[in-house]
């Protein structure tokens, strides 16, 4: 397995876990649903890339970009390390590795 697949899978697992934690700590069904959907799409992206399907990298870039935009806006309003800053950093790392994969 190559590095972008691993990075995307880790980010996807983190997002799913974050959604579950949002539900456990704040009873937020929205966090659970959004985390499950976006994390699941990132895990699907990693699976597709592992199979050599380029659409997986594109899917991962789109989802990562959406997460960075959403959590970046929240970060500007209220600086919180968890989850806002962490999702932005992990999203940018994932986005960078996926762009590098498509270009290289």
Q: What residues contact 9, with CB distance under 8 A and at least 6 apart? A: 42, 43, 46
What pLDDT does residue 86 have?
Answer: 95
Q: What residues contact 22, with CB distance under 8 A and at least 6 apart? A: 28, 30, 31, 32, 35, 83
**pLDDT tens for the 104 residues of the chain, in order:** 799 999 999 999 999 999 999 999 999 999 999 999 999 999 999 999 999 999 999 999 999 999 999 999 999 998 888 899 999 999 999 999 999 999 98
Q: Report the candidate in 46, 102, 41 with the shortest Cα–Cα distance to residue 67.
A: 41
For tokens 């697992």, the residue is 13
Q: What is the largest CA-CA distance in the chain?
A: 43
Stated pTM of the model: 0.95
């Amino acid at each position: 397995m190559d590095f972008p697949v691993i990075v995307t899978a880790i980010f996807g697992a983190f997002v799913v876990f974050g959604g579950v934690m949002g539900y456990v700590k704040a009873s937020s069904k929205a966090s659970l649903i959004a985390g499950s959907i976006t994390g699941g799409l990132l895990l699907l992206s990693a699976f597709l890339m592992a199979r050599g399907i380029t659409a997986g990298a594109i899917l991962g870039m789109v989802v990562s970009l959406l997460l960075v935009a959403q959590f970046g806006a929240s970060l500007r309003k209220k600086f919180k390390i968890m989850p806002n800053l962490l999702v932005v950093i992990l999203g940018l790392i994932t986005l960078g590795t996926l762009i590098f994969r498509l270009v290289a």
